[in-house]
């Protein structure tokens, strides 16, 4: 069975809870409602053979509602099938942890919490993994200043200008639409 066949099977099971399916360059992506995310991923591992979680990441669609999007990359052990699963998350919502499905999701979810501030319910150890405990900000959010924020702990972090600030690969945080925030949209004089 292929990933495309798995998407068809998931569509039969989850129906309208699957918001969208996308095939691009032979890669399959499934967009699902947040309320069905855990169940869908459980079905992928248990019935469809996706034994590995490769990555969990998040996107910040600053200015849009819902603001965030979770992205799960899963695969079979022999790498014959690969599936991307996405779910939109508002700032008030909590994402169900998948550490009960894949133990390897632990650090990925902690990193998403630490860098983006998206909380996970049911996670066995939901604490920061990169920043120190008590740090009040989430550095990968688009509204976080590129130059950083002043800190009371000078030995832990610096407050100098970030080396990429204003560079050609840096997205501009604003309430503009996604296309206007992209670095390529800026006029260089």
Spans of all domains in the chain: 3-140, 145-189
Reading phi first (left if > 0) and then psi (alpha if -120 to 50, else beta), residue 153 is in beta
pLDDT of residue 162: 54
- 12-21's contacts with Cβ under 8 Å and 24+ in sequence apart are 13/43, 14/39, 14/40
The pTM of this model reads 0.80
pLDDT of residue 83: 97
∠ Cα 85 86 89 (to 5°): 150
The DSSP secondary-structure symbol of 38 reads H
Which residues neighbour 46 within 8 Å (Cβ) at sequence distance 6 or greater? Answer: none
Q: What is the pLDDT along the chain (189 residues), one digit of tens a residue?
A: 899 999 999 999 999 999 999 999 989 999 999 999 999 999 999 999 999 999 999 999 999 999 999 999 999 999 899 999 999 999 999 999 999 999 999 999 999 999 999 999 999 999 999 988 888 889 999 988 877 776 666 555 555 555 555 565 566 666 677 666 666 565 655
Write down the CATH superfamily of domain 3-140: NADH:ubiquinone oxidoreductase Nqo5 subunit (3.30.460.80)
d(CA 10, CA 67): 26
d(CA 18, CA 73): 17
């Amino acid at each position: 069975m292929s990933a495309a066949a798995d998407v068809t099977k998931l569509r039969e099971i989850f129906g309208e809870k699957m918001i969208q399916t996308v095939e691009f360059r032979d890669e399959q992506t499934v967009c699902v409602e947040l309320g069905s995310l855990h169940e869908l991923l459980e079905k992928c591992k248990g019935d469809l053979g996706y034994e590995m979680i490769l990555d969990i990441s998040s996107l910040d669609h600053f200015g849009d509602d819902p603001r965030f999007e979770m992205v799960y990359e899963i695969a079979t052990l022999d790498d014959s099938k690969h599936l991307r699963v996405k779910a939109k998350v508002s700032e008030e919502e909590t994402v169900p942890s998948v550490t009960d499905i894949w133990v390897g999701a632990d650090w990925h979810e902690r990193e998403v919490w630490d860098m983006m501030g998206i909380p996970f319910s049911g996670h066995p150890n939901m604490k920061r993994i990169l920043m120190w405990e008590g740090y009040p900000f989430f550095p990968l959010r688009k509204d976080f200043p590129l130059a950083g924020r002043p800190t009371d702990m000078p030995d832990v972090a610096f407050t100098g200008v970030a080396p990429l600030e204003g560079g050609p690969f840096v997205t501009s945080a604003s309430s503009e639409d996604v296309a206007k925030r992209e670095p390529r949209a800026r006029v260089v004089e």
